[in-house]
Amino acid sequence: MRGFIRQSRIAVRRAYTLIEVLIVVAILGLAAAVLIPSMSGRGDFDTQAAVRALISDISFAQSDALANQSFRRIHFYENGTGWCLVKLAEDELSQPFDPATAEYVADPLKGATRGGIYATDFAQDDRYASVRIEGVSIDSGKREITFDELGGTVTNGGLPGTGGTLILRSPDAAYRLELAPITGKVRVTRLAAETTNAQ
């Protein structure tokens, strides 16, 4: 009989009181109230991911130009849905981008079945579905960043690059990327909410 009473007491001690349950529910409610509004703006996460992908590709293009001692160019599509990396010879610096004849850099992460080219197209990638590129103005209005064999930016004539800016925008966020002259160093600035909604 004593063993049964002892087991009953232990079982009662293990149960939660009503106050403990209410405290846990209140904490979960507060956490949800804080997290749900920040998670509802998925476009902000998409935009941040696109910014990181672009910075990574700029670094890759610069490193690839240096490693292969040849020219590499990042071309931004006219419709604002992405960019691609291409190889160039010095005599091709002044030629406009032609998707039919461009020699694309091969992407080792994409097999031949997925095109195999080093390019990002928001229309084909759900991760960046709401993101667009706007206001591309590099080296006095061009839509491309070109790196020479020393890893520096150059203009169409082979002169040192003058830098430029572009904006990655979604309905929830916008970021401006500023490209430094010659070095190609990228600086990212988040645009204010008023600017994001107004433009």
Largest CA distance in the chain: 98
Both tokens of 172, joined, read 């929830």
Question: Model confidence over 136-148: pLDDT tens digits?
Answer: 999 988 999 999 9
pTM of the model: 0.75
The Cα-based distances of 147 to 69, 104, 123 in angstroms read 10, 15, 26
- Report which of 163, 169, 157, 164 is spatially closest to residue 195, judged by C-alpha positions: 169
Task: Give the H or E element holding residue 119.
Answer: strand 119-121
Q: What is the rounded CA–CA span in Å between residue 133 and residue 167?
A: 6
- pLDDT band at residue 68, thresholds of 50, 70 and 90? very high
Maximum average pLDDT range among 38-42, 87-91, 195-199: 87-91
**Which value, in Å, is the radius of gyration of the alpha carbons in the chain?**
26
DSSP annotation string for 131-167? -EEEEEEETTTBSEEEE-TTS-BB-TTSSBP--EEEE
Question: Model confidence over 125-137: pLDDT tens digits?
Answer: 888 888 999 999 9
Question: Model confidence over 41-63: pLDDT tens digits?
Answer: 555 788 899 999 999 999 999 99
